[in-house]
Chains A and B, each alone.
Chain A
Amino acid sequence: MRRRISNYIFSLLVFATGFVQAQMIMQNDSMRNPYIPTGVRIGVDVVAPIVAIVSKDFKGWELNADTDFKNSYLVLEVGHWAREMVLENGDYSNSGNYWRVGVDANFLKKDPDKNMFFFGFRFGHSRFNEKLDYIITTPEFGSVPSSLENKNFKANWLELTTGLKVKIMKSFWMGYTGRIKLYPSFSKDQQLQTYDIPGYGLTFKKPWWGFSYYLMYRIPLVKKR
């Protein structure tokens, strides 16, 4: 038992030493090189839960992270999206996960608080299942109930983004990202034509647009000079 605790403490010491050394290296590097990241902001989107409460047929969440390379920020967004729709002659549902990766260029160049007014782009990817239960009625052949499903489906798209991020208190930022979603790409060979892509939206809306409002917390990688 004692040996196990000492091993644990030893591991922690090794980890802590490594972390401090890494931080010192990054700090020294960042003094020399502005392209070394100084921190990571991690955020949560508050729009998706509001839409889920208001519309009731939508469930979803989205997380966001960015890190700085001088005046540009590498951005990663991950989320989940599930939707149910009642149609005139059927029911449609989908559920899936998505991610977007891209870069935001900050136009507030010398802001020490890392506030942002930015323009950027994203590449989006979604993997999802969708299902359609419906009845087709023709005068000659009557009513025919059918059920169609696309499993483990994939889609990609591009986005142009703009927005603001403002420091509201120590380590906390809030701000929005508006996005124009372009060029959704997905297979069209199957009978059930993809209707709604998690992360993108309705496929017949080209371009489509979206909006996220993030609350973000910043984890510094380098101590402030």
Chain B
Amino acid sequence: MKYLPLIALALSLFSCFEKGDCTDISSNKMKVNFYKFSDKKSKKILIDSIIIEGWEDSVMYKNEVDSITTVLLPLDPAVKEMTYYLYYQNKIATLDIDYISHTFPLAPECKVIDLLTLTDAAATVVQELTISQHELTSNETENIKLYF
């Protein structure tokens, strides 16, 4: 019983140096899946290129051979809104994304991460757009559905 205060003190000091979990769950990639508007099933699209407004020199996606059903679009953690231009089948669709960051260190001596959350999204040319998951995480779950 008389050693109880000392044991509690040692545990207390030990807990001060306890390291947390450094697993990074954040991502700046937004997963966009393509669907047919008529039956809501997955649709393959032949994308010519995808360009980010303000970053026109660097084409973020270029594929003129294979049709795809999904694309990962990067968000810049330093800003709060981005516009993408999707060039496909002689059309240009515009995708506007608004988002917020929640910034925090994962644990002592770990990384600081920006957890990005979509707040609003709009598109032109395509039939419909819905946000299926607002938070961007490293497990690459679908964030946006685009209906053509």
Contacts and interface: CB of A to CB of B under 8 A. Distances in A.
B9 A47 contact: yes
A51 B16 contact: yes
A213 interface: yes
B5 A140 contact: no
Contacts of A86: 109
B112 A134 contact: yes
B77 A50 contact: no
B13 interface: yes
Interface stretch (A69-77, A119-127, A204-212): A204-212
A191 B20 contact: no
Contacts of B58: 140
A88 B16 contact: no
Interface in A180-211: 188, 191-193, 195, 202, 204-205, 209-211
A88 B109 contact: yes
Q: Interface extent on B, as a size class?
A: 20 to 34
Give the interface centre of A58, A141, A146, A210 by most chain B CB atoms within 10 Å: A141
A54 B13 CA distance: 9
Interface residues of A, number: 39
B122 to A, nearest CB: 22
A191 B100 contact: yes
B17 interface: yes
A144 interface: yes
A55 B17 contact: yes
A86 to B, nearest CB: 7
Contacts of A211: 8-9, 11-12
A192 B100 CA distance: 11
Contacts of A141: 28, 74, 76-78
B15 interface: yes
A96 to B, nearest CB: 17
Interface string A40-62: 00000001001100110010000
B115 to A, nearest CB: 8
Contacts of A85: 105, 108-109
A148 interface: yes
Interface in B9-67: 9, 11-13, 15-17, 20, 22, 28, 58, 60
Contact of B20 (A51, A90, A204): A204
Interface of B: 4-5, 8-9, 11-13, 15-17, 20, 22, 28, 58, 60, 74, 76-78, 100-105, 107-114
- Which 3 pairs across A and B sit closest by C-beta, in order of nearness? A211-B12, A193-B104, A134-B112
30 contacts: A47-B9, A50-B13, A51-B16, A58-B16, A85-B109, A86-B109, A87-B112, A88-B110, A88-B112, A90-B105, A132-B105, A136-B78, A136-B112, A138-B77, A139-B74, A140-B76, A141-B76, A146-B78, A164-B5, A176-B9, A188-B102, A191-B100, A193-B102, A193-B103, A193-B104, A202-B20, A204-B20, A204-B107, A211-B11, A213-B9
